[in-house]
């Protein structure tokens, strides 16, 4: 017969109070309350405040409780920008150049917008200081839209996308706060992908290659390496987190989905909790345990809906 000790290597402990820092999968008996308790991380989506302007193909920066959404498309190319405080969205100063499907990264008060579709494909780059957007003198070396980005305003990475040809590109570039420099390309050219991480520790997730793809690549500052793919191939998805702890959500596979997957640095695991609103070309930002997904599209609707992804913990089993 399988025992808890045989699985975990230790007996169930009898404690007078709950441990202050339990481990995932740990079980203990609370002798004071007469309950058997287990620690398990529970992830769930919940509704957040709606955007003021429904949009899809917008860029995002920041964290769940201090986010920025900018650009995108509604009935026209958008320059408008909105900030999120964890409860509601507030209109903020607009980009200088209205654009659809730009790349974006940084924080709510130090964001970076680059590339996109203005009616033509651009490499134009803008910086936000919390009050105004300023056009950067130099843009991307490879103009493109539907690209991904990650990092900080002064140390960013842009990769993938669609050029004016039109064609998928695997081009990758780093930004030092003033200029873009070409870096090693992705192994597989792609567009409508998601990106998380930093300039020297990035993850490229999903994409449209010759259809929906779950292909994932990891970057160490010198080269891109193909790693395990998403369980659900998709493009135009949202993502949040780091190179070793990410969450991917939504997208087209090829129809709109709300499927959510978690990355542990090695493989993707499908979570049973999907987004309430299946959508593609949505925006994502934040961390694996506190992410934000907003906007998106399922024809002919440009969504205002915002959803928050959180990890909550501790489940209790009461015994007599």
Taken as a whole, the chain contains a residue count of 320
Average pLDDT, integer, range 217-243: 98
Residue found by looking up tokens 């706060």 in the block: 177
Residue found by looking up tokens 């651009």 in the block: 122
Residue 5 has pLDDT above 50, yes or no: no
- Please give the Cα distance from 162 to 235 (Å, whole number): 13
The order of strands in the sheet holding 180-183 is: 148-152, 155-159, 172-175, 180-183
Residue 36 belongs to what H/E stretch?
Answer: strand 35-47
Q: How many CA atoms lie within 13 A of 254 on its CB side?
A: 5
Q: How many CB atoms lie within 10 A of CB 142?
A: 20
Residue 41 has pLDDT above 80, yes or no: no
Average pLDDT, integer, range 30-54: 88
Which pLDDT belongs to residue 259?
98
Q: How many CB atoms lie within 10 A of CB 31?
A: 12
Residue 206, classed as helix, strand or coil, is strand
- Please give the Cα distance from 89 to 304 (Å, whole number): 10
Q: How many CA atoms lie within 13 A of 86 on its CB side?
A: 5
- Please give the Cα distance from 220 to 238 (Å, whole number): 22
Contact between 251 and 280 under an 8 Å Cβ cutoff? The reply is yes
Which pLDDT belongs to residue 308?
98
Q: Please, what's the largest Cα pairwise distance for the chain?
A: 70
The domain spans of the chain are 4-42+312-318, 45-311
In sequence order, the β-bridge partners of residue 270 are: 261
Which pLDDT belongs to residue 21?
77
Residue 317 has pLDDT above 60, yes or no: no
- Please give the Cα distance from 218 to 223 (Å, whole number): 8
Q: Are strands 27-30 and 13-15 parallel, antiparallel or unpaired?
A: parallel
| pLDDT tens-digit map of 97-143 | 999 999 999 999 999 999 999 999 999 999 999 999 999 999 999 99
Predicted model pTM: 0.88
Q: How many CA atoms lie within 13 A of 199 on its CB side?
A: 16
Which pLDDT belongs to residue 38?
78
| pLDDT tens-digit map of 238-294 | 999 999 999 999 999 999 999 999 999 999 999 999 999 999 999 999 999 999 999
| pLDDT tens-digit map of 185-217 | 999 999 999 999 999 999 999 999 999 999 999
Peptide bond into 157 cis (omega under 30): no
**Confidence tier at 34 by pLDDT (50, 70, 90):** confident
Contact between 156 and 177 under an 8 Å Cβ cutoff? The reply is no
Residue found by looking up tokens 């709606």 in the block: 50
| pLDDT tens-digit map of 44-90 | 999 999 999 999 999 999 999 999 999 999 999 999 999 999 999 99
Residue 314 has pLDDT above 70, yes or no: no
Which has the higher per-residue pLDDT, 300 or 293?
A: 293
- Please give the Cα distance from 171 to 188 (Å, whole number): 10
Residue found by looking up tokens 């010198």 in the block: 222
Residue 304, classed as helix, strand or coil, is coil
**Confidence tier at 315 by pLDDT (50, 70, 90):** low
Residue 4 has pLDDT above 50, yes or no: no
Residue 96 main-chain phi, psi, to 5 deg: -75, -30
Residue 313 has pLDDT above 70, yes or no: no
- DSSP percent split of the chain into helix, strand, coil, nearest 5: 0, 50, 50
**Distances in Å between the alpha carbon of 291 and those of 22, 294, 306?**
23, 10, 11
Domain 45-311, CATH among 3.40.50.410, 2.120.10.80, 1.20.1250.20, 2.10.109.10: 2.120.10.80
Q: Are strands 201-208 and 172-175 parallel, antiparallel or unpaired?
A: unpaired
- Please give the Cα distance from 288 to 270 (Å, whole number): 13
Peptide bond into 290 cis (omega under 30): no
- Please give the Cα distance from 219 to 230 (Å, whole number): 17
């Amino acid at each position: 017969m399988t025992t808890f000790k045989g699985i975990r290597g230790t007996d169930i402990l009898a404690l007078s109070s709950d441990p202050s820092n339990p481990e995932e999968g740990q079980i203990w008996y609370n002798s004071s309350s007469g309950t058997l308790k287990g620690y398990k991380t529970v992830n769930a989506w919940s509704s957040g405040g709606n955007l003021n302007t429904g949009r899809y193909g917008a860029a995002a920066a920041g964290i769940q409780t201090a986010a920025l959404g900018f650009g995108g498309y509604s009935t026209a190319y958008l320059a408008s920008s909105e900030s999120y405080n964890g409860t509601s969205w507030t209109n903020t100063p607009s980009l200088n150049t209205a654009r659809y499907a730009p790349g974006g990264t940084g924080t709510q008060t130090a964001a970076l917008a680059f590339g996109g579709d203005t009616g033509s494909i651009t490499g134009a780059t803008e910086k936000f200081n919390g009050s105004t957007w300023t056009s950067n003198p130099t843009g991307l070396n490879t103009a493109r839209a539907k690209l991904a980005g990650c990092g900080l305003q002064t140390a960013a990475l842009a990769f993938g996308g669609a050029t004016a040809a039109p064609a998928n590109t695997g081009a990758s570039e780093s930004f030092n706060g003033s200029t873009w420099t070409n870096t090693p390309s992705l192994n597989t050219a792609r567009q409508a992908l998601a990106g998380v991480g930093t300039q020297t520790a990035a993850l490229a997730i999903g994409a449209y290659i010759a259809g929906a793809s779950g292909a994932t690549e990891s970057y160490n500052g010198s080269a891109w390496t193909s790693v395990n793919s998403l369980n659900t191939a998709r493009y135009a998805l949202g993502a949040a987190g780091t190179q070793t702890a990410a969450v991917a959500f939504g997208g087209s596979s090829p129809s709109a989905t709300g499927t959510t997957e978690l990355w542990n640095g090695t493989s993707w695991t499908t979570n049973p909790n999907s987004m309430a609103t299946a959508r593609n070309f949505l925006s994502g930002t934040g961390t694996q345990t506190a992410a934000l997904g907003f906007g998106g599209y399922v024809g002919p609707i440009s969504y205002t809906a915002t959803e928050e992804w959180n990890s909550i913990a501790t489940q209790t089993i009461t015994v007599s």
